A and B are shown apart, each in its own frame.
Chain A
Amino acid sequence: MKKFFSNKPVIIMIVAVVLLLVLAFFSAGSRTIPWVESAVGAISRPIQTFAYKASSGIANFFKELFNRTDADLEVSRLRQELAMNEQLKLDYDELLLENERLKALLNYAGEIGDYKYVTASVTGRSGGVWFDVITINAGRNQGVEVGQPVICGDGLVGRVTDVGANWSKVIAIIDSTFTAAAAVERTRDNCMVRGVFSSSDPSGTLELYYLPTDLTDIVPGDVIMTSGLGGIFPKGIRIGTVSEVMLDADSSGVNAIITPSVDFMHLEEVMVIIGTGGGN
């Protein structure tokens, strides 16, 4: 025993292991990043931004090598147009439905107010399949706080979990620990969505749950949006589209697989909605 405790490298290793385990335990939840971590992030931020953008260019170059026919380029262009048109139609439908509800309910108080946005670039993404965390180059100095929603042109990206001086970490909606209150756009059914762990699909999927069978007729193609319940996410942000509907084991409820509207593999710019959320 005496020999064991006189072995300096082993003692250092044990101390380091214990410290790292304590660090891992306390950093698992949402938090404001301590100044040491914040400084490391701030110093490396310009390099990260440059390296991430350069990597995107290199990755796109390799992908283009395998997608260079006119037909591939045309498909890519048409997909972009279709996505834009779908979003426009969705906005139109949403306004129409909202207008109808407003007529029926004069004392309607819309929950979507004038929000302030902070735009940020994506500077990194966690490796591996276990967690989906995105690093962005906006933080406390830009008004970002823990819990604030993050969106992009296609819909909901996630929620801020860690905030440094000039950078933040965002848990993506496709992370398996993510949950949000949602609603089916067509039927107005309220439900919950959560990220699904997927080892074979890096673009990610979500699962819709807590939807009683007798109260819904959800079908593939239905659009899922944030419901505004819970106060973290503003109402009406697009989450994704239902791709598959399944019954529970006891047929008492409906679950659905949702394809996220955001392309997480090509995410470069995001917006943080400041002045909402803010809680842990």
Chain B
Amino acid sequence: MRKWLLVLVLVVAFYLDTMFFNLLNIYGIRPDVTLAVVVVLGVLAGSGPAAAAGFISGLLADILFNKIVGLTALSYMLSGFFAGFFYRKFYADNIIIPTVLLLICFFVKEHVFLIASLLAGAKPAYFMTLITYILPSLLLTGGTVILVYLLLKKTLYKPLWRNEKIDVS
């Protein structure tokens, strides 16, 4: 059941990123919901599942929509793997760590694409792009983590003490 819920969340996130927000956005500013799901998955379930989910979602998006196949997969996979280092390292109610992790991952991911576009021959104005696209999208993506985290927390989070005997002596 938990696995199916996760697949459903990933499919919805994929649809929102690749279809819905392409058509409905504010001057190109849009959140990265799949990245939010992958990072939250990393902190709640560990590096393995998060990296695998990021790899599959990213590769599918690359194959179907993107110019360079592999870049989104690479970004999502590494984000999930990185987020997994914080698995079981904080309390379930702590929303700050996943949010900060997501902001870092989004910032790095956009810079990976910036470098790729430079290598492909584009000449983006860095500070203009930073102010008009990267930072507003970063804030919007940071906002989505709250929704994603609340959605996945109850089903994925396994407290450390669940299978441990409590010593009351």
Contacts and interface: CB of A to CB of B under 8 A. Distances in A.
B125 A197 contact: yes
A59 interface: yes
B15 interface: yes
B70 A130 contact: no
B24 A24 contact: no
Interface stretch (A14-22, A144-152, A251-259): A14-22
A44 B121 contact: no
Contacts of B134: 199
Nearest to B74: A20
Contacts of B17: 127
Interface of A: 9, 13, 16-17, 19-24, 27-28, 37, 40-41, 44, 48, 51-52, 55-56, 58-59, 62-63, 124-131, 133, 135, 161, 169, 171, 175-177, 197, 199-202, 265
Contacts of A176: 117, 120-124
Nearest to A62: B24
Contact of A265 (B23, B66, B78, B114): B23
Contacts of B68: 24, 27-28, 131
Interface of B: 15, 17-25, 27-28, 30, 47-48, 51, 55, 60-61, 63-71, 73-74, 77-78, 81, 110, 113-114, 116-117, 119-125, 128-129, 132-134
Contacts, number: 145
B25 A20 contact: no
Contacts of A56: 23
B60 A40 contact: yes
Contact of B21 (A51, A127, A129): A127
A141 B107 CA distance: 40
A21 B134 CA distance: 23
B64 A41 contact: yes
Given A16-B55, A20-B70, A199 B21 contact: no
Given A27-B68, A41-B64, 7 more contacts: A17-B77, A58-B23, A62-B24, A126-B67, A127-B66, A177-B120, A200-B128
